[in-house]
Structure 1
Amino acid sequence: KTLQALTEHHDALRMVYREEQGDVIQYNRGLNEASVDMKVFKLNGPAIDNEEKIEREADHLQSSIVLETGNLLKAGLFQAEDGDHLLLAVHHLAVDGVSWRILLEDFAAVYTQLKQGNKPVLPQKTHSFAEYAERLKEFANTKAFLKETDYWRQLEENTIQTPLPKDRQSSDQRMKHTRTVQFSLTAEETEKLTTKVHEAYHTEMNDILLTALGLAMKNWTGQDQVSVHLEGHGREEILEDISISRTVGWFTSMYPMVLNMKHADDLAYQLKQMKEDIRHVPNKGVGYGILRYLTAPEHKTELEFSIQPEISFNYLGQFNEMADSGLFTRSSMPSGQSLSPETEKPNALDIVGYIENGTLTMTLAYHSLEFHERTIQAFSDSFKTHLLKVMEHCLAQDDTVLTPSDLGDDDLTLDELDKLKEIF
């Protein structure tokens, strides 16, 4: 009943995708087709003794999603002697990280209301995915938006792309060859990273993480520049009178950024420069994809979209337990493969960070036919070492240092601000 209520409330859970005359068309099925696809598995004994069966069934459930016919939400309820485990799998075309938070909050709310014998009531819907898409298409060719073109053109002109130093080459880019290494901070270090570290330079999490990443990349490659694909939630407020704060869908933005590490020997300057470079990205990068895929060709003749980073970076934020309901916790059971092992891996190295249970974890997924494990492990160790050094530097500062973005001045450089400080 809970899943039925969510499927009726959130349009994205009723989406299907069909190819017509060479184009992929997205359809939203009506409420009469808001069915729930859930399988129940009764397990003999506790869940931990059935882990292999759970993983096998989870793999099957994940791979059973069909875009053309739906449902894009699949559920598996594993009933064990020591409690139930519910697997929810939704195709990535229908959800992003923010959508998952919305869905999990709504799941807890509806389940609780139904358990109490009440009719489920959810917060008011925000604008639909379809309406947002239509408005975005109009916005893509407006004069106000096209001002962004200069920023992306200059980035292309000033970027020197150097390939990653791979241990070997491979034409086989399938996901089945992906391996991961990871590192974590302690709970105490993570608390400092989310609080006190930012007092020195008015920084945000990406300022710190990308500075550390850039320093580690310079150590590895010997280059002052490294281009990365950054991912953002993509829900920037760029359209007037449109709210998508509670709209489920895939809004993720992906855009190239160049980590300029010319000042690596001066950590204070380097950190401030990284912060300013990030602040200068228009609308947190959401416009890059709009320009590339929606803007008319005649409005982007100066852009080649030539920057092809081999690294992607995504900080997902903090994942908190569904504490408000008191009913659910994150299961330790395997959720199955969420990506087909036969699909192509788009990046040589994918770096994802998140905070869960009070600790930061950074996961590095790499192509095992191109990199030795020891190579990525050494890079991971370097990343962690530089992250702790950046944190230590920030914590050692007695005063708060302002940068041009704190003053609301997009044209003022760090050097000009330092000169003004000397004068006054």
Structure 2
Amino acid sequence: MDELAEDVADIPVGRPLDNMRVYVLDTGLGLVPPGVVGELYVAGGGVGRGFVGRPGPAGGGFSPRDVFRWRTVEALAGVAQTASVGVVAEAAGESLGEVPSTPVMSLFAERGGPVDGFYQSMGARVPSGTRFPQVERSVQAVLDHHDALRMCAVLEGDRWELTVPAADALRAGSILRRVDVAGLSQDAVAGVVVEQRVAAQGRLVPADGVLLQAVWFDAGPAAEGLLLLVVHHLVVDGVSWRILVPDVEAALAAVVAGREVELAAVATSFRRWARQLAGEAEVRAGELALWQRVARTADPLLGARGLDPLVDVASSAGQLEVRLPVEVAGPLLGAVASAFRGEVNDVLLTGLSRAVNRWRGTDGPVLVDLEGHGREEVAAGLDVTRTVGWFTTVYPVSLEPGSGDVGSSVKRVKEQLREIPDKGIGYGLLRYANVDTATEFEGPAPQIGFNYLGRFQTGTHSDGALTQAAGLSGGMDAGMPLAHVVEVNALAEDSGEGPELRAVWSWAGELLSEERVAELAQAWFEELTALVQAVTEGA
């Protein structure tokens, strides 16, 4: 914190750009240098979403679209508004009631198989000396504040019936468990966490409105504990965790200090956003030709056959975790993306498409199912930067990196990604929410799936087992059909010494061997390393 204070002290204040730089630092993104600065999205590795919707610097404000469109500090300072960003207030009770199924929810239902155990988890720190009633009260405050966490989700065939009940419908005491880990060794604690996470997964019952389980690992009155949140994926995504975990920790701090819990307001409810999104389906009809062209991309089989939903399920999947060290990942996620005036996905997908072509001996386009945050500004007056829910978009992209040097490949892939309107949100709307176009999307999905979740602060490897257990994790029911033959979920983990790129590869174990997937993972890291070398060496 002393270094941060010195950094702030060195910045002259008064001008919009200087105020903006102080504000970015104060909101946890790290100091962005003066002059030709790196992009906010790059600097934060996705964390930039965390400060949208907060009071702006020196009274200024900006909309969600401003941050994602104007990604440099200079540009954002230029558009910062001195008045309200124009968010329309919701009427009382507008967040409650029936919720239309969003495209990603419809995609999930379409997969079939068991769905109750599809979850993500993260941990929140619990101050030493905290008592069970205090944890319970804190969890209740968060449940009451974030409507989606109380949602009742009933799967009828291939469609969801979703309802958000009143704030007092779910009591924290019914979903909260305390586990005593005081005095246990690190290995023992790690084992208990895994055991309890699996047990919490088994207690999720979406049809009964039980989409969250909270497990308090109590390390004793003199030690910091951990509140593990196991949440069904229907109501949480990567951005939601950046809202949910800080809110839980803020609630705990307030309750322990004897204060009332006061969480920042949620400007737009998930229900309102979902209803607005459903109305966009007709507007997106003009994108149909684009998506048909992408769907025509040749996608040679990666294995002996396509996916079989009865055979290729979670229990038969392989998994491999690899890490790109900080000396490569740091420049990759910062200087490299900034050098091409691009986003992190531009460089990661360039490396992936080149690696896939090397791996299968081809030189054409690579078809990939790409996940995005999905929080696009579909209409004026909406602000979902404080909204917990599953906003993710999933859409196919055809990436043709070419056979030239890595630099030219980045430029090609970047241009191809920019051709897609609004980060692909129209694809799901046309496929699942527009009856006139839905039949145009019959056929298999891309065999490769990719998702970059952004940057997360983590504990160091020397920290205790509870700190390490706080990181983002997830799982699904053993019988749930796989979505892709090969899937990559990547995130940047920063323990204070710079980011490592952590990539979890999963694949259909009946179609590909671990050795074969490891070759692809290695080829990807080699391409990313070559990109770093090309930029840092001035190639």
Measured against the shorter chain, the TM-score band is 0.7 to 0.9
1:41 maps to 2:179: yes
Secondary structure of residue in 2 paired with 1:24: strand
| One of 129, 133, 141 as aligned partner of 1:5 | 141
CA distance in 2, matches of 1:114, 1:319: 26
Amino acid at match of 1:349: V
Q: Aligned letter for 2:369? A: H
Corresponding residue to 2:435 among 285, 296, 306: 296
Q: 1:192-231 residue pairs with structure 2 within 5 A?
A: 192-223=331-362, 224-231=364-371
Matches within 5 A, 1:330-369: 330-332=467-469, 338-357=475-494, 358-369=499-510
Q: Is 1:59–1:336's contact at 8 Å kept on the other side of the alignment?
A: no
Q: 1:154 to 1:84 in 2, by over 3 A?
A: same
Q: Which of the numbers 30, 47, 57 marks the counterpart of 2:166?
A: 30
Q: Aligned-pair distance for 1:302?
A: 8.7
Match of 1:123 in 2: 264
Partner of 1:65: 204
Please say if 1:252 is aligned against 2:392.
Answer: yes
> Structure 1 pair 102/62, CA: closer, same or farther in 2 (3 Å)?
same
> Are the counterparts in 2 of residues 17 and 25 from structure 1 also a CA contact under 8 Å?
yes
Q: In the alignment, what sits opposite 1:264?
A: 403
**Aligned position for 1:162:** 300
Deviations 1:231-282 (A, max 9, x none): 0010011222112111111010000011213x22333322211010011111
C-alpha contact 1:206 1:315 (8 A) present in aligned 2: yes
Query: Among residues 283, 286, 289, which one is paired with 1:147 in the alignment?
Result: 286
In the alignment of these two chains, the number of paired residues is 388
SS of alignment partner, residue 376 of structure 2: coil
Tell me how far 1:155 sits from its aligned partner: 2.1
Equivalent position of 1:308 in the other structure? 445
Report the counterpart of residue 284 of structure 1 in structure 2.
423
Is contact 1:169–1:369 with CA below 8 Å preserved after alignment? no
Question: Which residue of structure 2 lines up, in the alignment, with residue 409 of structure 1?
Answer: none
Q: Is the 8 A contact 1:313 1:350 kept in 2?
A: yes
Name the SS of the counterpart of 2:449 in structure 1: strand
- Judging changes above 3 Å, is the alpha-carbon distance between structure 1 residues 184 and 57 closer, same or farther for their aligned structure 2 residues? closer
Residue in 1 that maps onto 2:235: 94
* Residues 488, 504 of structure 2: 8 Å contact kept: yes
Matching residue of 2:75: none
Confirm or deny: 8 A CA contact 1:350 1:364 kept in the other structure.
yes
| Per-residue deviation, 1:84 | 2.8
> Is the 1:200–1:395 contact (alpha carbons within 8 Å) kept by the matching residues of 2?
no
1:72: Cα distance to partner?
A: 1.0
Any unmatched runs of 5+ in structure 2?
Answer: 1-136, 460-464
- Counterparts of 1:405-424 in structure 2, within 5 Å, are none
* Inter-CA distance 296–174: structure 2 relative to 1 (3 Å threshold): closer
CA deviations 1:200-239 (Å, max 9, x no partner) are 3212211111111111100111221221100001001122
Please give the secondary structure, in 2, of the residue aligned with 1:351.
strand
Change (3 A) 1:232 1:41: same
Q: Distance in 2 between matches of 1:129 and 1:41?
A: 32
1:373-412 aligned within 5 A: 373-397=514-538
| 1-structure distance, mates of 2:473, 2:375 | 29
> Out of 242, 245, 262, which is 1:104 matched to?
245
Match of 1:413 in 2: none
SS of 1:71's equivalent in the other structure is coil
Q: Check whether the contact 2:226–2:466 (CA below 8 A) recurs between aligned residues.
A: no
Partner of 1:232: 372
- Aligned equivalents of 1:184 and 1:199: distance in 2? 22
Moved over 3 A (4+): 19-23, 50-54, 80-83, 165-171, 301-307, 328-337
User: What SS does structure 2 have at the residue aligned with 1:247?
Assistant: coil
* 1:184–1:362 CA contact under 8 A, matched in 2: yes
2:62 alignment partner in structure 1 = none
Q: Which residue of 2 aligns with 1:84?
A: 225
Shift of 1:334: 10
User: What is the CA–CA distance in structure 2 between the aligned matches of 1:302 and 1:344, rounded to whole Å?
Assistant: 22
Segments of 5+ residues of structure 1 without an aligned counterpart are 323-327, 399-424
- Measured on the aligned residues, the alpha-carbon RMSD in Å equals 2.7
Structure 2 length as normaliser, TM-score? 0.67
Seen in structure 2, the aligned counterparts of structure 1 residues 334 and 45 have a Cα distance that, compared at 3 Å, is: farther
- Could you tell me how far apart the structure 2 residues matched to 1:33 and 1:53 are? 30
Kindly tell me: are residues 19 and 360 of structure 1, through their superposed partners in 2, closer, same or farther at Cα, counting changes over 3 Å?
closer
Per-residue deviation, residues 16-51 of structure 1 (Å, max 9, x unmatched):
112569853101111231311101122463153254
Q: Retained in 2: the 8 A contact 1:353–1:363?
A: yes
Change (3 A) 1:373 1:19: closer
CA displacement 1:280-328 (0-9 Å, x = unmatched): 111111110011111231xx38933546211100011100259xxxxx9
Percentage identity across aligned positions? 28
Write out per-residue CA displacement over residues 169-201 of structure 1, whole angstroms, 9 at most, x where no aligned residue.
976112012222232222222221122213432
Deviation of 1:70 after TM superposition, in Å, equals 2.5
CA distance in 2, matches of 1:112, 1:80: 17
Contact map agreement 2:228 2:470 (CA 8 A) in 1: no
C-alpha change, 1:123 and 1:217, in structure 2 (3 Å) is: same
Sort the Cα spacing of 1:7 and 1:350 in 2 relative to 1 into closer, same or farther, 3 A. Answer: same
Distance in 1, Cα, partners of 2:487 & 2:157: 34
Q: 1:342 to 1:156 in 2, by over 3 A?
A: closer
- Could you tell me which amino acid in structure 2 is paired with residue 15 of structure 1? M
Alpha-carbon shift at residue 393 of structure 1 (Å) = 1.5
Moved more, 84-93 or 179-188: 179-188
Q: What is the rounded CA distance, in whole Å, between the counterparts of 2:502 and 2:524 in structure 1? A: 12
TM (norm. structure 1) is 0.84
Tell me, in whole angstroms, the C-alpha distance in 1 between the residues paired with 2:387 and 2:406: 40
8 A Cα contact 2:291 2:427, kept in partner: yes
- Residue 117 of structure 1 and its aligned partner are, at CA, apart by 1.5
